[in-house]
Amino acid sequence: MAALASTSTPTRPNIIAITVDSSCAQMVQSIYAPMFNALQQHSNLTFSTNTDSAMASLNSLSPRAILLMDPFLIRPKPAYRALAGALASYVHAGGRVVLCGVFSSMVSSPDFNAWLLRRWGLHWELGAYHRVDNCLGEAELRWAPALLERFSMKAVSLKGVRREARLYVPAEGARTQSFVFPAQEVQNKEQAAVAWEMVGSGWLGYVGDVNCEEGSIKAVVAMCGVRDEKCYGCEKEGSVRCARCTKALYCGKECQKTDWKRHKAICREAAPKA
Ligand SMILES: [Zn+2]
Ligand SMILES: [Zn+2]
């Protein structure tokens, strides 16, 4: 399985999902099937299961976004260096790379911290690992369509993420949810389970979720920027914007009414400041 391209429609943006280690490919395919299905509604998704095919796809598809779904690229192997460098150049030039899938559950701390600093110039470090209720943080992407305001996620959080780059953070008063350990209030509220940071002219995303929660799927779809012109309520093209915030987009009154329950929480803040 080198590069399995789905049928191309010219108007749809391309997304490349990369697993560097081929032994991860099958696991990723089965766990993340719901995420791939969601992305395929809006894009042509191509799977690359080794560095050569990833490099070829990157050079030929002008992708809207790239999902790096396992952490093996951070190893200092000569064979990996070229792709890691190409991904960084792609982001600096305006691309989007999202670290997701089994990346967070399989990466080790010192390697991750060093790679983020060396390759991306970010002081991100792996932080707490637990299940808690998360809510939207202050990252600009919070205005993206269909993001959940709050959901429970078992995730490897990051320390050292700027406030303006935290997309999901522990909810107010959030307590750890575990079958084994007693619930505790989350100590370090500065951590982010999902992050979205500008690097050069592009973006680097991180999704710490170790499962495949609906809220994380929606975050990845938003990070890929493939649904920006769609109605916030359904899959149709959007035509009218919320008059108050001028950001939320709908196909019509019906969807606007249905989405208000979700959207009202962020509409006031999204509104242009007078
Ligand atoms: Zn709609
Ligand atoms: Zn609004």
pLDDT single digits (tens) 57-86: 999 999 999 999 999 999 988 889 999 999
Within this chain, do residues 194 and 133 fall inside the same structural domain, yes or no? yes
Amino acid 179: pLDDT = 78
Q: What is the pLDDT of residue 245?
A: 84
120 lies in the same domain as 150: yes
Q: What is the pLDDT of residue 181?
A: 82
In a shared domain, residues 184 and 135: yes
Which pair of structure tokens corresponds to residue 41? 């509604």
160 SS3 class: coil
Do residues 208 and 195 share a domain?
Answer: yes
Same domain, 207 and 238: no
Q: What is the pLDDT of residue 273?
A: 67
pLDDT of residue 176: 86
pLDDT band at residue 106, thresholds of 50, 70 and 90? very high
The alpha helices in 71-127, defined as continuous H runs, are 78-92, 103-106, 109-120
Percentage of residues in the chain having pLDDT higher than 90: 67
19 and 99 share one domain: yes
pLDDT value at residue 164: 96
Ligand closest to CA 268: 2
Give distance in angstroms: CA of 231 to centre of ligand 1: 5
Helix (H, G, I), strand (E, B) or coil at 135: strand
* Exposure letters 222-258 (e unless 16+ CB within 10 A, then b): bbbbbbeebbbbbeeebeeebeebebbbbbeeebbee
Angstrom distance (rounded) from CA 97 to CA 119? 13
Higher pLDDT, 153 or 226: 153
pLDDT at 2: 46
CA atoms of 193 and 252, how far apart (whole Å): 33
Stretch 183-198: mean pLDDT = 90
Among the bound ligands, name the one nearest to the CA of residue 241. Answer: 2
Q: What is the pLDDT of residues 15-44, one digit of tens each?
A: 999 999 988 899 999 999 999 999 998 899
261 Cα to the center of ligand 2, angstroms: 11
88 pLDDT more than 70: yes
Same domain, 140 and 259: no
Residues 88 and 174 in one domain: yes
Q: Is the pLDDT of residue 223 over 50?
A: yes
* Residue 229 Cα to ligand 1 middle (Å): 11
How many domains does the structure of the chain reveal? 2
Least confident of 2-6, 10-14, 42-46, 132-136: 2-6
Residue 204 has pLDDT above 90, yes or no: yes
Provide the whole-model pTM: 0.86
Residue 129 sits in a domain of what CATH number?
A: 3.40.50.880
Is there a single domain that holds both residue 97 and residue 202? yes
Domain hosting residue 128, numbered range: 3-228
pLDDT recorded at residue 170: 94
Rg of the chain in Å (alpha carbons) = 18
User: What's the confidence (pLDDT) of residue 113?
Assistant: 96
155-169: average pLDDT: 97
pLDDT at 247: 82
Q: Are residues 262 and 174 in the same domain?
A: no
Give distance in angstroms: CA of 262 to centre of ligand 1.
14
Q: What is the 3-state secondary structure (H, E, C) of 180-246?
A: CCCCCECCCCCCECEEEEEECCEEEEEECECCCCHHHHHHHHHHHCCCCCECCCCCCECCEECCCCC
pLDDT at 274: 59
Looking at all shown ligands, the one closest to residue 238's CA atom is 1
